[in-house]
Chains A and B, each alone.
Chain A
């Protein structure tokens, strides 16, 4: 470090020379994430009912409880005499939780909102952060390096999600589309975009290489280029896909409890 002394600086939580409304964004994001977690907890542990509805033979699942692994013949899950508190979401949600929790975009959000590390750029951190000693993504946050493994699992979930969408198309009288198809379809699309724009996928697809000259490596370079385009809006896909999980769940809840009713838009 060069000679000279540091300027007197503003120290302490939220001390800054900024004059704009820097608190708005982290506050809004913190409230949104907290609401999402509380709602999920309520749905998982306190009210795991009305998780799907049937319409003329088609079946629309709530996004939170899709895929409903407890209906699977695989591993004998269907016949499993499970404890009453176990439901499909409890068995599966650790995957999207892990994927989102280790996501490079999500990390920006929660370091800012929940850890004030820092709350916003050029805003000082609370004294306790400095007392504990900053270690970045070491200590507990070293687990964020597992992101690619959650990615593999999330990719499997996405395929099953699309499979669940096809269940909304199959009516007793033939193939058709209902509002539920759009609810599940849009949710599956947004999640697919969120996973496709992932930083780890981008790296594994082609970013790990320095040369994209011949054959497979050239193809991987092209895939890297395509993913990079979606990757720019990773945050957008994060929030829209997250929001739609809850919108979709509210829709399924409302229909299956008779507050709203779904209709088959057309059947062929």
Chain B
């Protein structure tokens, strides 16, 4: 592979706030082994000390440095410059923008607080009083995957229901559907969230185009393991006449 050391690379990075925001040109010398966040830091250090960028762990675990690099949402700290240089046509700048779906604050920073507001409306896990919770490994593995979420909100930014149609009031977004799956499938939880999943959190808005899974840096199977599983539970409750008859015969009372 071609060495990046000493290569001059052009960037276009979104700078400013409000109506003033726009792409600005930068150029820096690259080093071997850099990630995109290193480049942003170099520009900040050498040329633009007031450039706003969120970052923390530099290890893909805190979920702070989400941005759209060449139009593809990624974590800046986990995106190698060797890959980005290879995908960018020779002589063209690498473009870095903040996440498009959220309100813009400044430069590469967006306001993702909507996600936390939705999270607060979700009923927490309600298990046995005594904290000697025991379940087997098979049951644990299923929900463990959902706990890998680092809340980078790349999936929310990617989801066209929010990105293109802005249905923030009707749809919970992939991240919070993963949270709902995590609680709803917990082996000891006794709370029922299915009516809320359908009505309040609008799971039917998801048309499983799987972009959220494609973008997840934690490798969570958001569509297959969280959303589709929840959709099937909604079908059980609302759209399966045989199950409805069965519930009537066996006198199972559920909420609708």
Contact = CB atoms under 8 A, between A and B. Distances in A.
Contact of A118 (B136, B139, B164, B232): B164
Contacts of A216: none
A211 interface: yes
Most central of A130, A138, A199 by chain B CB within 10 Å: A199
A19 B96 CA distance: 12
Contacts of A121: 158, 160, 209, 211, 214-215
Contacts of B70: 17-20
Given A122-B73, A130-B164, A210-B189, A135 B205 contact: yes
Bin chain A's interface residue count. Answer: 35 or more
A16 interface: yes
Contacts of A207: 229, 232
Given A2-B113, A7-B97, A148-B235, A19 B215 contact: no
Interface residues of B, number: 66
Nearest to B98: A7
A48 interface: no
A213 B139 contact: yes
Nearest to B136: A213
Task: Classify the interface of chain A: helix, strand, loop or mixed.
Answer: loop
A108 interface: yes
A199 B161 contact: no
Contacts of A146: 239
Contact of B139 (A108, A138, A212): A212
Contact of A3 (B97, B111, B229): B111
A166 to B, nearest CB: 32
B204 A137 contact: yes
A208 B232 contact: yes
A161 B73 CA distance: 45
The 5 closest A-B CB pairs, nearest first, are A17-B71, A4-B103, A121-B211, A136-B205, A18-B71
Given A9-B100, A18-B70, 8 more contacts: A4-B111, A8-B21, A19-B89, A20-B72, A134-B167, A136-B204, A203-B232, A204-B232
Interface of A: 1-9, 16-20, 104, 107-108, 111-112, 117-118, 121-122, 124-125, 129-130, 134-138, 141-142, 145-148, 199-200, 203-204, 207-208, 210-213, 221-222, 225, 228, 231-232
